[in-house]
């Protein structure tokens, strides 16, 4: 089948690798990202959307190639000045990065929807595929931890370097969020839905917590395929494996597939993993490691060809 | 008489020169600045107080020694990034400078009064004399111009480089401003009141437009002395002389003294000006040029000695 409209549910650094690969080979009008905003926070009055910014910086070529987030060649003059005033900032804010946050914050304060603001930022950065926040309303991910009580996501992730033990993950304000017209339309028109190899619990679950999101996805009789973030019992990066253990799950690709459940019609595992039992899902195994742009494009191409063959 | 409490009404760069001189020789607890906030604006969501910041940067030694405003060694990464997004910022925002604006904006958004915020920033910068905004409420200076209609102050001053012809100056929202407890107390306790050599119409008039300010000053039976911003028919810097001409005034120190009227009991003119008719004011003539720190201190010392002699 022809793939004219691909929708990708996606988080930050890990997912953005596949996002870049897809953006390199698909026409821009064929590609829509629905991005986790559960990580968002307001810091010194700035509205920060880490996953959206990571994707925009990655797709625009601005991203810091070492970290995979933030802007290449960024400086920390603002942050160092705050420190000189006696403040103790714990979240990294590069001077170039601040331009994104300032523009976003001032547009939101003027009453623009986040979806409109991100479209404006994407255009400003020359990003052609559509980048949609999962919702216009804030749905802050709250992490209930054993040692530190309930933490806002960035407190857990950055301030505490994802060391506290996760007991439960909640999606604050989710009941007041709505499917934006843009997200609803993108899903309604999709020929295939891809879940990027992002953290299912931290990056994809918030997207699925938006009311009607899951139903809108399930209503589409098109391939709905996840790419595994787990390879041979390990996460490529970040706390996925640690969290799975803390939630009492086996750290396997099967656990990820089981977590997504009926949402999936297919699953892409890593070629290094063998003897996976993916319970009736259409599946394929590719090299899902994407250390460089060539491998990002290669995985995107294999995935798209496999989808077209269905 | 002994001068235990000096209050200085002050604007930006020009006034800050004398401000620094006074701060160098007076004990911190003896010195309170009441600063013009008519120039303030919100830009990309940041609350900017140019005159207060110029004074804080000057007193803390952070100021850019070339411009006399902004932070020494500042960079423009944020601003250049905004430009790369297609924005056309017309107001200079250095990366270090942004720390001041961000901290101020987020504290104001948390409900703090501007007076409290400035006290916190002053402490953070190690500025010991008291720096008080003229009011907690915004009183934006609006410039009615011949060529461009009504302009917000920074639009007039920065965007249009004070080139339009000034017809009238208004103080927006002045009727809703109040004398803060800190300003009221400082005036009530002052042994002398100094009007810095700032622009009378752009920098001092907004302070005097705060309801009850003029009355509070007039109620004090202490020396109330202005230092001339006009020397031999010229302003040391900025648009003072230009505006005086546009308002139909002679560009003389006498015009300045007449503008302040009964507010003054004394006037300091420049030693280069002779034959001034200062109509019953106590007066003295000093070298009011302050090109370097030694001259700033020298003028402050002469002024204080003259006041003590009264």
Average pLDDT over residues A221-229: 97
The pTM of the full predicted model, rounded to 2 decimals, is 0.93
Any A CB within 8 A of B84 CB: yes
Q: What is the pLDDT of residues B220-250, one digit of tens each?
A: 999 999 999 999 988 877 889 999 999 999 9
**To the nearest whole percent, how much of chain B has pLDDT over 70?**
100
Chain B residues within an 8 Å CB radius of A85: 99-100, 103, 121, 124-125
State the pLDDT at residue A2.
Answer: 80
| Chain B nearest CA to A189, separation (Å) | 30
CB A77 to CB B82 under 8 A? no
Query: What's the confidence (pLDDT) of residue B236?
Result: 77
Q: Which of A44, A71, A74, A117 to mutate to test the interface with B (most CBs of B within 10 A)?
A: A44
Q: Is the pLDDT of residue A275 over 80?
A: no
Residue A117: predicted pLDDT: 98
Please provide the DSSP assignment of B106-174 as one string: HHHHTT--HHHHHHHHHHHHT--SEEEES-SS---EEEEETTTEEEEHHIIIIISTT-SPEEEEEETTG
Minimal Cα–Cα distance from A77 to chain B, Å?
5
Which residues in chain A are closer than 8 Å to B78, comparing Cβ atoms? 78, 95-96, 98-99, 102
For residue B2, pLDDT beyond 90: no
Is A88 an 8 Å CB contact of chain B? no
Question: Rounded to an integer, what distance in angstroms lies between the CA atom of residue A84 and that of residue A87?
Answer: 7
Find all residues with CB under 8 Å of A24, minimum gap 6, and list them: A293, A296, A297, A300
Residues A86/B124, Cβ–Cβ less than 8 Å = yes
Q: What is the pLDDT of residues B7-44, one digit of tens each?
A: 999 999 999 999 999 999 999 999 999 999 999 999 99
C-alpha span between A69 and B12 (Å, rounded): 40
Question: B106 and chain A: CB distance < 8 Å anywhere?
Answer: yes
Tell whether the model's pLDDT for residue A297 goes beyond 90. Answer: yes
For residue B202, pLDDT beyond 80? yes
Paired sense of beta strands A141-145 and A149-152, if any? antiparallel
Nearest CA in chain B to A80: B96
Reply yes or no on whether the pLDDT at A89 is more than 90. Answer: yes
Kindly tell me if the per-residue pLDDT of A1 is higher than 90.
no
- Do A103 and B87 lie within an 8 Å CB cutoff? yes
Give residue B87's pLDDT band: very low, low, confident or very high (50, 70, 90).
very high
Picking from B45, B99, B124, the nearest residue to A109 by CB comes out as B45
Give the model's pLDDT for residue B284.
94
Structure tokens at A299: 């995985």
Q: What are the tens digits of pLDDT across the range A93-141?
A: 999 999 999 999 999 999 999 999 999 999 999 999 999 999 999 999 9
Compute the average pLDDT of residues B160-176.
Answer: 95
pLDDT above 90 as % of chain A: 93
Looking at the predicted structure, is the pLDDT value of residue B1 above 80? no
Instruction: Grade residue B310 by pLDDT with cuts at 50, 70 and 90.
Output: confident
Distance from the Cα of A303 to chain B's closest Cα (Å) equals: 33
Each residue of A32-69: pLDDT tens digit?
A: 999 999 999 999 999 999 999 999 999 999 999 999 99
Residue B127's closest chain A neighbor by CA?
Answer: A85
Report the mean per-residue pLDDT for chain A. Answer: 95
% residues pLDDT > 70 (chain A): 100
């Amino acid at each position: 089948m022809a793939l004219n409209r691909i929708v990708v549910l996606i988080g930050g650094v890990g997912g953005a690798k596949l996002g870049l690969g897809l953006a390199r080979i698909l026409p821009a009008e064929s590609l829509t990202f629905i991005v986790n905003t559960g990580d968002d926070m307001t810091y010194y009055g700035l509205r920060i959307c880490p996953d959206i910014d990571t994707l925009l910086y990655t797709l625009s070529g601005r991203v810091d190639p070492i970290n995979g987030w933030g802007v290449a060649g960024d400086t920390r003059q603002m942050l160092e000045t705050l420190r000189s005033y006696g403040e103790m900032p714990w979240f990294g804010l590069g001077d170039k990065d601040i331009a994104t946050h300032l523009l976003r914050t001032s547009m939101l304060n003027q009453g623009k929807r986040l979806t409109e603001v991100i479209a404006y930022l994407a255009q400003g950065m020359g990003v052609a595929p559509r980048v949609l926040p999962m919702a216009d309303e804030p749905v802050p991910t709250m992490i209930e931890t054993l040692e530190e009580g309930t933490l806002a996501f960035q407190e857990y992730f950055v301030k505490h370097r994802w060391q506290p033990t996760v007991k439960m993950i909640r999606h604050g304000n989710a009941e007041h969020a709505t499917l934006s017209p843009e997200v609803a339309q993108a899903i309604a028109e999709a020929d295939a839905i891809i879940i990027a190899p992002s953290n299912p619990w931290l990056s994809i679950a918030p997207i699925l917590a938006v009311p009607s999101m899951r139903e809108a996805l399930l209503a589409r009789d098109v391939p709905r395929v996840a790419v595994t973030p787990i390879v041979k019992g390990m996460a490529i990066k970040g706390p996925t494996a640690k969290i799975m253990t803390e939630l009492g799950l086996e750290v396997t690709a099967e656990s990820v597939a089981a977590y997504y459940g009926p949402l999936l019609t297919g699953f892409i595992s890593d070629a290094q993993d063998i003897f996976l039992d993916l319970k009736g899902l259409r599946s394929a195994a590719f090299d899902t490691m994407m250390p460089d742009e060539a491998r990002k494009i290669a995985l995107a191409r294999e995935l798209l060809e496999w989808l077209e063959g269905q």
